[in-house]
Amino acid sequence: MAGPFVAVIDYGIGNLRSAEKALCRAGADARLVTRAADVAAAAGVVLPGVGHFGRCSEALLQSGLWGATVDAVSDERPFLGICVGLQLLYESSEEAPGARGLGVFPGQVALLPAGVRRPQMQWNLLAVRPGSRFLAGLEQGTWAYFVHSFAAPVGDETVATCDYGGPVAAAVEAGHVWGAQFHPEKSSTAGLAALANFVEACSCDSPGQAERPRPGEEPRVGARGGREA
């Protein structure tokens, strides 16, 4: 039986195939999508991202999928941002002053603390806040793979941190909007378990097609305005 249709937003950056294949392994019918209609049709949406915040923001705008992404985070479907995809959930980043994020969460993504090698390119131990759905079953001694030089601020939405020159935001979760600074698609069995939690949410939580905004409808969340998390 095919799992829920998970749209992996393909906006021309980096290694998206790994995310697609890992989601398939975790039980989803995951596909790379380049059309807004496909994003709208999915039970769940994944926004990957590697490299530079400004370039990713620009690429998402140029791909024509910014609006569909905003719709996806503003309706009740499960949404997962990975790496820079998580960072794009914030308002902005020190990495690219002037480039905008989706503004789902308040605050600015910032450079990792001084005194550590950058990028953090290693596995690190997650400190998971109990009650996370994304990281359910991974509360004890879970290692995940990180590759990044910038990180989101630690806030109410932070459900996991790792220690890299201080506590660094590793995962976020607010309702149906989840994010991983680490790469679940590259974190072996632990990462696949987290993705399976997402796929399960896509199976259970996604509202019916009728409840979703129709193509052309104004997005309910402004790209800059954002909801308070």
Partner 1 sequence: MRVVRVIPCLDVDAGRVVKGVRFAGLRDAGDPVELAARYDAEGADEIVFYDITASAEGRETMFEVVSRTAEEAFIPLTVGGGVRTLDDARRLLRLGADKVSVNSAAVARPELVTEISGTFGAQCTVVGMDVRRSGPGTWEVYTHGGRVATGIDALGWATRCEQLGAGELVLNSMDRDGTRLGYDLELCRRVVEATGIPVVASGGVGSVAHLVEGAVAGLADAVLAASIFHYGEVTIAEAKAALAAAGVAVRPSVTAAPAR
Active site residues: 83, 183, 185
Cα–Cα distance measured from residue 80 to residue 83, given in angstroms and rounded to the nearest whole number? 10
Q: Does residue 42 touch partner 1 according to CB under 8 A? A: no
3-class state of residue 228 by DSSP: coil
Q: Does residue 155 touch partner 1 according to CB under 8 A? A: no
Per residue in 79-114, is it b (16+ CB within 10 Å) or e — as a string? bbbbbbbbbbbbbbbebbeebbbbbbbebbbeebee
Tell me which residue of 179, 167, 159, 181 sits closest to 69, measured CA to CA: 179
Which of 29, 35, 58, 149 binds partner 1 (CB under 8 A)? It is 149
Q: Tokens at residue 57, please?
A: 């923001």
Cα–Cα distance measured from residue 180 to residue 85, given in angstroms and rounded to the nearest whole number? 8
Site mask for partner 1 (CB under 8 A), range 54-83, x = bound: -x----------------------------
Q: Does residue 186 touch partner 1 according to CB under 8 A? A: yes
Give the residue with the Cβ less far from partner 1, 127 or 221: 127
Cα–Cα distance measured from residue 49 to residue 63, given in angstroms and rounded to the nearest whole number? 14
Phi, psi of 61 (to 5 degrees): -65, -50
Q: Does residue 204 touch partner 1 according to CB under 8 A? A: no
Number of residues that bind partner 1 (CB under 8 A): 39
Site mask for partner 1 (CB under 8 A), range 99-138, x = bound: -----------------xxxx-xxxxx-------------
Q: Does residue 150 touch partner 1 according to CB under 8 A? A: no
DSSP class of residue 33 equals: E
CB of 202 to partner 1, least distance (A): 19
Q: Does residue 15 touch partner 1 according to CB under 8 A? A: yes
Interface ranges with partner 1 (CB under 8 A)? 13-18, 21-22, 24-25, 50-52, 55, 116-119, 121-125, 143, 145, 147-149, 162-164, 183, 185-189, 191-192
